[in-house]
C-alpha cells in the first residue's frame, strides 16, 4: 500500500508540473546547493548558493545568490533561529547589479496527523548598489509528509512563500513549490521541485499586474 501511495503521489506531482508548465511562458531553471557544517547539537553554519536562468533565455545565467547563516536549534525542538548575510547579483538591462542583505529568521516546526509543518519567518534589509529596496519580509510555509519511502527517503512536499516589501508597501512576489526530497548518501540529500513564480508589478496607472513564470529546480544539500 505504501509503495502504491508513493507512486500515486509522484504521478500527481508530475501531472502538476505539466499543468504549471503550461500556465506561463518563459520557463526558467534553478540549481541551488546548501553546505551545512554541524558545530554541535545546537549550532550549525549554512552556506547557500543559488543559480537562476534568465526569464527570456532559459540557457543564460541571470542571477546568483550567496547566503551565509548561523542556525541555533537549542531553544526548543519546535524552533530554529538564524541570522546571517547574503549577496544577490542579478542581471538587468544588460548589466549586473548586486544587492547585499543582512537577515534574520525564526522557523516554527510541528508534526500534525502525519504531516510536518515548517513556517519560516525571515526579515532581510536589502541594500542594492543602485536605488533603494529597504526591508523585506518573507514567509515560507512548507508541508511535507512525516513518513519517508524507500531506502532513498523520498518525501513529497509543498511550499508557498510570500514576499512583502515594506518600502513599496505591497506583496512583491509569491512562489508556490511542489516536489519531493530524497537521500543520495548519508551526507548528501537532494530535491526536485517545480515552482510558479508570481511577480507583482505596479504599472504607471497604479494598476496591479502579476507575471507568472514557471521554474524547474534541482536542490542539493551536503552535511559534514
Per-residue pLDDT of the chain (224 residues; tens, 9 = 90+): 445 445 545 555 555 555 555 554 567 899 999 999 999 999 999 999 999 987 666 568 889 999 999 999 999 999 999 999 999 998 877 788 888 999 999 999 999 999 999 999 999 997 765 555 689 999 999 999 999 999 999 999 999 999 998 987 888 899 999 999 999 999 999 999 999 999 877 655 566 678 888 999 999 999 99
Domains in the chain: boundaries: 2-223
3-state secondary structure of 39: coil
3-state secondary structure of 12: helix
pLDDT of residue 1: 46
Distance of CA 126 to the CA centre of its chain: 17
The C-alpha cell at 94 is 544588460
Q: Within 10 Å of residue 53's Cβ, how many Cβ atoms?
A: 20
Q: What is the DSSP string of 119-188?
A: EEEEEEEEEESSS--EEEEEEEEEEEESS-BTTTTBEEEEEEEEEEETTTTEEEEEEEEEEEEEESSSSE
Residue 190's alpha-carbon distances to 34, 35, 51, 155, 217, in angstroms, are 10, 12, 16, 11, 10
The C-alpha cell at 27 is 520557463
Q: Within 10 Å of residue 34's Cβ, how many Cβ atoms?
A: 17
pLDDT of residue 5: 47
Q: Domain 2-223: which topology?
A: Porin (2.40.160)
- Are 156 and 177 contacting, i.e. CB atoms less than 8 angstroms apart? no
Backbone torsions φ then ψ of 2, nearest 5 degrees? -60, -40
Return the ∠ at Cα 162 (arms to 144 and 130), rounded to 5°.
Answer: 135
Handedness of CA 147, 217, 195, 16 (dihedral sign): negative
Amino acid at each position: 500500500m505504501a509503495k502504491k501511495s508513493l507512486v500515486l503521489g509522484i504521478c500527481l506531482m508530475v501531472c502538476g508540473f505539466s499543468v504549471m508548465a503550461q500556465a506561463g511562458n518563459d520557463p526558467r531553471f534553478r540549481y541551488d546547493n546548501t553546505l551545512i557544517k554541524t558545530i554541535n547539537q545546537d549550532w550549525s553554519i549554512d552556506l547557500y548558493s543559488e543559480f537562476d536562468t534568465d526569464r527570456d533565455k532559459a540557457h543564460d545565467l541571470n542571477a546568483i545568490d550567496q547566503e551565509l547563516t548561523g542556525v541555533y536549534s537549542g531553544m526548543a525542538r519546535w524552533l530554529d533561529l538564524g541570522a546571517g548575510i547574503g549577496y544577490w547579483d542579478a542581471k538587468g538591462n544588460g548589466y549586473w547589479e548586486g544587492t547585499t542583505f543582512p537577515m534574520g529568521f525564526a522557523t516554527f516546526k510541528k508534526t500534525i496527523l502525519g504531516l510536518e509543518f515548517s513556517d519560516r519567518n525571515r526579515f532581510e534589509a536589502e541594500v542594492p548598489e543602485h536605488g533603494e529596496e529597504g526591508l523585506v519580509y518573507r514567509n515560507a510555509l512548507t508541508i511535507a509528509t512525516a513518513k519517508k519511502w524507500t531506502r532513498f527517503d523520498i518525501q513529497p512536499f509543498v511550499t508557498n512563500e510570500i514576499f512583502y516589501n515594506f518600502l513599496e508597501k505591497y506583496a512583491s512576489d509569491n512562489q508556490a513549490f511542489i516536489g519531493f526530497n530524497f537521500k543520495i548518501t548519508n551526507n548528501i540529500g537532494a530535491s526536485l521541485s517545480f515552482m510558479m513564480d508570481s511577480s507583482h508589478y505596479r504599472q504607471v496607472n497604479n494598476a496591479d499586474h502579476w507575471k507568472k513564470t514557471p521554474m524547474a529546480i534541482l536542490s542539493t544539500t551536503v552535511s559534514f
